[in-house]
Amino acid sequence: MFHYNNQTASEIGVDFSKNAIRGLLLCGPPGTGKAYLAQVDANEAQVPFAYASAPSFQNMFFGVGNLKVMGLYKKARKLAKVYGACIIFIDEIDAIGMSRGAGSAGGGLGGLMGMGGSGLLNELLLQMDPPNMDNNGFAKLLRSLRLRKKKAERLAVLTIGATNLPDVLDTALLRPGRFDRKLWVDAPDYDGRVDIFQYYLEKVTRDPELTPERVALDTIGYSPAQIKHIVNESVVIAHQRGASVTKYEDFRAAMETYEWGLKQPLRSMSEDERRNVAYHEAGHAVAQFLLKPQERLWKVTIIRRGDALGLAATKPTHDRYNRSDSEMLAEIRVCLAARAVEEEFLGKKLNGVNSDLRQATQLAGAYLGAVGMGEELFSWLAIGSPEEGLKALRPKINELLNNEMNKVKKLVTKHSDFVHAIATQLLKRGDLTGEEIEAIYLGLYGEKRPAAQDAMIHREIFSSLSEAASAKEMVDKAELDS
């Protein structure tokens, strides 16, 4: 990772032995392989590797944690003298490296009892960037007798820290000379997931349809640890059904169990309540299918999983890193589609939309008050209080939600046959896959799912006449240019 060619460096007048990088901070979500990356780096450099968990330094007796840190770095320097360098990896470094201004982290009973506090952090800061002092007693004796003239040797000890919360770390840890570099270890992209699946699936007796390329598309956003877990769970599911070969259906079942929880059917639910849930989820499914062409419908179910009586889920068609205004509005309509179907098809309002309305309100607030997609460029992020921003924008948020509700009502009414067909099949079978829903749409309308909408169709998303007029000019100009 940070290995240098000293011969090349000397040609340009740089001595990396005296100016070696002292620290590297690995940041990223859990399970992305930060500890494994540090271990691989030590193996590549052919130097000793020491692993320590930051919480293990904490102790109920004052000063014990400091001694542990001192002992770790003392041993690392001895090894560095023998092997040329040594790498120390400290996992969950935020446990002892939190900012000293963050409440009780700087003292109090926890600091006095050795549970961390500024004392342990100060010791870590000192050991990571120590003063130039001799490391053994004989050298110190020669120095005191003025018989040792050369500068004290600075041994190459690289500290690699890992954390999920880099923002809470003390600024003294992040300065040059301690954590000189910061590396973000994120979830793997498509190519990375294919490589990881190839490694794990080689160990599994699997059906030819269970390919790394196929499952890599299903696991966008998954970490390597999650991928390993899903592969193992799919093998368990295959074993439970008495099969010797793991199929794609087993992998899919493992993903659904991991993301949503185990199936827990409610046998006592009345037919009327099942019908309510079926139409509720059918509303979401129709809106997702027609309004989100950049995503594929994964599954719709009215079988309870976790605390949800039913759900309609989509998966991205590819790795994505941003969203447009039209996509945010489409997401709001998807949230409101269940209430629209309840009013238009059932003639009543149900209490199952509380999470839908909350999400729609948050999206509308972000649309208007965070990312500047409305008439104003004001962002509540500047004042650091989304709650105050939501209160200030409440009239505009409510207006936007009502406009989107009217649009999604027209959508589900226009495709009433589609809504009824999905709800009927859900009542019969309990759940439907995205492929089965696409087959229903093809049977009803004789065509496949609508492709991604272009700028001309998106004229309807604008909430003001001025925005619509400017959009029309943009589209007309594009038509003339083409």
Catalytic residue annotation: 281
**The dihedral formed by the CA atoms of 58, 59, 61 and 62, expressed in degrees to the nearest 10:** -10
Indicate the DSSP class of residue 345: I
**162 contacts 91 by C-beta, under 8 angstroms:** yes
**238 contacts 245 by C-beta, under 8 angstroms:** yes
Task: Give every strand in the sheet of 181-184, ordered side by side.
Answer: 49-53, 86-91, 157-163, 23-27, 181-184
The C-alpha atoms of residue 58 and residue 43 are separated, in whole angstroms, by 29
In single-letter form, the type of residue at position 357 comes to L
51, two tokens: 């692993």
Alpha helices in 325-431 (DSSP H): 325-341, 354-369, 386-392, 394-414, 416-429
Sign of the Cα torsion 331, 334, 339, 344 reads positive
Taking the mean position of all CA atoms in its chain, how far away is CA 223? Answer: 8
In single-letter form, the type of residue at position 148 comes to R
The C-alpha atoms of residue 117 and residue 197 are separated, in whole angstroms, by 42
Count Cβ neighbours within 10 Å for each residue of 300-323 and write b for 16 or more, e otherwise.
bbbbbbeebbbbbbbbeeeeeeee
Count Cβ neighbours within 10 Å for each residue of 164-192 and write b for 16 or more, e otherwise.
eebeebbebbeeeebbbeeeebebbeeee
Whole-Å CA distances, 1 to 43, 59, 142, 181, 467: 11, 33, 38, 11, 50
**Interacting residues of 208 by C-beta distance below 8 A, sequence separation 6+:** none
